[in-house]
Amino acid sequence: MEVESLKNLLEGVKDGSVSTDEALLKLKKLPFEDIGFAKIDNHRALRVGHPEVIYCEGKALEHIKRIVSVMLKGDSNILATRASRDVYNVMKEVDDSVQYFEQARICFIKKRELTKTQGKILVVTGGTSDIPVAEEAAITAEVMGNTVERLYDVGVAGIHRLLSNTDRLYEARVIITVAGMEGALASVVAGLVDKPVIGVPTSIGYGANFKGLSALLTMLNSCASGIGVMNIDNGFGAGCLASMINKIGENGKK
């Protein structure tokens, strides 16, 4: 339940349009709803600012369908990550308005419009192979109400491509850098700007990349300060963190 919905519920009780029994039933389900195989966290939006997100890998399709059906009873937007086309198809059976971002592997059901931030999140990739992880970050941040821009294929192997776009780096409030191989992009970007940089190592690279471990260690050992590092291929986590940072700067918040 969103903060606004809770306020509306209380106002309804106050003005008599909602009975106390109806309000009590809704409040009973506020912390979480137990559906047997899952406990849906209805309280998360109130605690952290965005509703629970469905992580789809490893879940049975029928379980995902049931979870979505229950979450649709609320008024929050629904985000499902690591979603295959089969997941999209089963979600479409429940709500045909679902959007599928195939490259990001994200399904999204919009139930309410969010005002876009004035501050920008810039998502930067080293190469085009990093784009799927970058899109997971970008789409996540967008559906959480952020203004997002993309700057792809500007890795350090051709650093002039990055340096010719420094104006875009300077204009952003938060920067997400997504890179595999040796993962040096995060350090280079953080050495150019006075804003938070979130590094996302990807599993892109040859054998000694160790499926992203080399990029992860490079970002963790960066000599440039101000970098926060996500786990390997965790575009979703980067999008969430960038959204939290970006929204601190909205409406004069300190």
Residue 92 counted as domain residue: yes
What b-and-e string marks burial along 74-108, b requiring 16 or more CB atoms within 10 Å of the CB?
Answer: bebbbbbbbbeeebbebbeebeeebebbeebbbbb
Which range (49-58, 77-86, 123-132, 192-201) has the least confidence?
49-58
Residue 114 counted as domain residue: no
Specify the higher pLDDT residue, 25 or 154: 154
Q: Which two tokens stand for residue 20?
A: 């106390």
Q: Tell me, what CATH number does 198's domain have?
A: 3.40.50.1970
pLDDT of residue 221: 92
pLDDT of residue 252: 60
d(C-alpha 147, C-alpha 104), whole Å: 17
Q: Measuring CA to CA, how many Å separate 202 from each of 212, 237, 252?
A: 5, 13, 35
Percent of the chain at pLDDT > 70 equals: 85
Mean pLDDT in residue range 87-105: 92
Residue 226 counted as domain residue: yes
| The pLDDT of residue 164 is above 50 | yes
**Same domain, yes or no: 183 and 160:** yes
pLDDT of residue 228: 94
**Same domain, yes or no: 168 and 202:** yes
Predicted confidence band of residue 137 (pLDDT cuts 50, 70, 90): very high
| The pLDDT of residue 254 is above 50 | no
Specify the higher pLDDT residue, 72 or 175: 175
**Same domain, yes or no: 86 and 150:** no
The last residue of a domain, from among 109, 139, 168: 109
Mean pLDDT in residue range 17-42: 68
**Same domain, yes or no: 103 and 126:** no
**Same domain, yes or no: 191 and 83:** no
| The pLDDT of residue 38 is above 90 | no
Specify the higher pLDDT residue, 108 or 29: 108
d(C-alpha 204, C-alpha 188), whole Å: 19
**Same domain, yes or no: 129 and 203:** yes
The last residue of a domain, from among 75, 109, 143: 109
Calculate helix-pair angle for 20-28, 3-15, nearest 10 degrees: 160
| Domain that residue 84 falls in | 31-109
Q: How many domains does the chain have?
A: 2
Mean pLDDT in residue range 230-242: 95
pLDDT of residue 44: 63
| The pLDDT of residue 156 is above 60 | yes
**Same domain, yes or no: 96 and 135:** no
pTM for this structure?
0.81
According to DSSP, the residues that pair with 101 across neighbouring strands are 106
Q: Which two tokens stand for residue 19?
A: 């009975």
Which residues have CB under 8 Å from 252's CB, separation 6+?
A: none
Residue 23 counted as domain residue: no
